[in-house]
Amino acid sequence: MTTLPRLLIPLLALALLAGCAGRAPAPEGERAAGQWQAQAERLAELDTWVLAGKAGLRTPEDSTSANLDWSQHPHYYRLLISGPFGSGRSTLEGREGRFSLTTAEGRFEAETPEALMEEQLGWSLPVSALSDWIRGLPADDTPHRLEEDELGFPLHLEQDGWEIAYRDWTRVDGLWLPRRLVMTYDDLRVTLVVTDWRPALDD
């Protein structure tokens, strides 16, 4: 073997090692394999946040949208709905098994937030499970089917008659959270886009 090939072999080996090392970390802002599993404990413990977003509602008869402002705490939540399908401005509140909806027509109560919204607004979001789904998690009290993408992140979730497709993600304070969800139930389609995620994370 001549001198040149003998020199090329270690140089090529070093180049390959350098290439592998360069590809190991994902570029900033991009998801990578293993990240979802690594944050599982922090995500499960996340029970307090404020977020703002938009929801698009589509049925065979109509299509409309509204703005959402959601404040979530361990024993209380408030969901402010404003815009066309919010009938102007509506506030849904839940506290220790009691639910109320305040609209321009007054304040109403029901046994479940879904029934309350259906009765007063004529449509409903799966509020009881949404605090889990919005974190990319299935609710823990009913059966579900979860499909993951090639990186191990949730891709498609089926639960309580709903199908949830996770379309986009955002990274906030070192935690990956869903940014865009498409939820379908029979002929109802809800597209939820989070424009501002503010999780309260313990250090």
Give me the residue spans of the domains in the chain: 32-199
Looking at domain 32-199, its CATH architecture is Clam (2.50)
Judge whether residue 22 has pLDDT over 70: no
The top-scoring range by mean pLDDT among 23-27, 86-90, 140-144, 149-153 is: 149-153
Contact between residue 119 and residue 98 where contact means Cβ atoms under 8 Å apart: no
Residues in contact with 31: Cβ distance below 8 Å, sequence separation at least 6, in sequence order: 151, 153, 169, 176
Count of CB atoms within 10 A of residue 150's CB?
7
pLDDT of residue 35: 97
Q: What residue type is 120 in one-letter code?
A: Q
pLDDT band of residue 28 (cuts 50, 70, 90) is: low
Judge whether residue 18 has pLDDT over 60: no
Q: What residue type is 109 in one-letter code?
A: E
Residue 164 CA, distance from chain mean position: 10
Judge whether residue 87 has pLDDT over 60: no
Mean pLDDT of 32-42: 96
The top-scoring range by mean pLDDT among 2-6, 55-59, 93-97, 152-156 is: 152-156
44's enclosing H/E stretch is helix 40-45
C-alpha span between 91 and 48 (Å, rounded): 18
